[in-house]
């Protein structure tokens, strides 16, 4: 569970780094990709936390 939490924090840091770069299309793509990864980690965390 600690590993999943660390990965979630890592993804949030990646999003924070690029979220303010409004006109940068590459940064926007990285944010979209990171949010998809965050969604998967959230689902994984939910499965582990219910057990």
pLDDT at 18: 92
5-51 pLDDT tens trace: 999 999 999 999 999 998 899 999 999 999 999 999 999 999 999 97
Contacts for 36-42: CB closer than 8 Å, 24+ residues apart: 37/11, 38/8, 38/11, 38/12, 41/4, 41/7, 41/8, 41/11, 42/8
């Amino acid at each position: 569970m600690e590993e999943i939490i660390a990965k979630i924090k890592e993804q949030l840091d990646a999003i924070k780094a690029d979220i303010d770069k409004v006109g940068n299309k590459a940064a926007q793509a990285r944010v979209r990709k990171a949010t998809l990864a965050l969604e998967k980690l959230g689902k994984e965390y939910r499965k582990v936390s219910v057990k």
